[in-house]
């Protein structure tokens, strides 16, 4: 996809020495905000309902990663941009270059972040949901900045993550668990 590559090169071209350490931290650790959020709420409220809700948040996060990494990536088998020779020469990869056999669609980071953000939106409303979704998008976009995903990898991850979180939420509410 030409637009996909153009957007990737645009975000990857925003590189700045002062921004690199910030983006590196966010791209490596940002997704962990989402499984930590349910634990923080549980620690503050300590109710049986919050314990169930925390469990559901973790289920959404972990199940989304399972679906993304174990089911979809092997089926789609799309190479990362770093595996495409002509594109690799134009990218400025921040950090370790993924192995050539590593696949990129859907992005596991984008999937897990959007699953967590969607769960927060479902359980805590629009205000917290909007903040969580904004964080999920920012963390996901760092994957373009570091040069390891195409924008469509992120979009696919966002869809899978949101769908997984909605599915987990509906199932646990239906099951009354």
Identify the pLDDT of residue 121: 92
| Global pTM value | 0.86
Q: What is the largest CA-CA distance in the chain?
A: 55
Q: Which of 62, 55, 63, 66 is nearest to 123 (CA)?
A: 55
Cα(84)–Cα(82) distance, integer angstroms: 6
DSSP, res 97: P
Cα(92)–Cα(152) distance, integer angstroms: 19
Identify the pLDDT of residue 155: 96
Identify the pLDDT of residue 157: 96
Q: Which of 110, 127, 104 is nearest to 165 (CA)?
A: 110
Q: Which of 151, 120, 159 is nearest to 33 (CA)?
A: 120
Cβ contact 58:35 at 8 Å: yes
Three-point CA angle 157, 151, 66, nearest 5°: 20
Q: Is 100 helix (H, G, I), strand (E, B) or coil?
A: coil
Walk along the chain (177 residues) and give the pLDDT tens digit of each residue.
Answer: 568 888 899 888 888 899 889 989 888 888 888 777 776 776 676 777 777 777 888 888 889 999 999 999 999 989 999 888 888 888 888 878 888 888 889 999 999 999 999 998 998 889 988 998 999 999 999 999 998 999 999 999 999 999 999 999 888 888 876
Identify the pLDDT of residue 40: 73
- Which tokens in the block code for residue 29? 């650790």
């Amino acid at each position: 996809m030409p637009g996909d590559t153009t957007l990737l090169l645009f975000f990857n071209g925003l590189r700045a020495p002062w921004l690199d350490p910030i983006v590196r931290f966010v791209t490596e650790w940002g997704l962990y905000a989402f499984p930590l959020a349910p634990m923080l709420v549980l620690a503050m409220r300590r109710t049986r309902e919050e314990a169930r809700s925390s469990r559901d948040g973790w289920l959404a996060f972990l199940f989304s990663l399972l679906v993304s990494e174990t089911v979809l990536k092997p089926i789609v088998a799309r190479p990362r941009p770093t595996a495409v020779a002509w594109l690799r020469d134009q990218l400025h990869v921040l950090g370790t270059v993924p192995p050539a056999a590593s696949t990129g669609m859907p992005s596991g980071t984008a999937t897990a972040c959007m699953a967590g953000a969607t769960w927060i939106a479902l359980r805590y409303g629009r205000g917290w949901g909007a903040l969580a979704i904004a964080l999920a998008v920012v963390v996901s976009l760092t994957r373009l900045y570091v040069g390891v995903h195409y924008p469509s990898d992120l979009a696919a991850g966002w869809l899978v993550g949101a769908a997984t979180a909605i599915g987990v939420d509906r199932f646990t509410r239906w099951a009354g668990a």
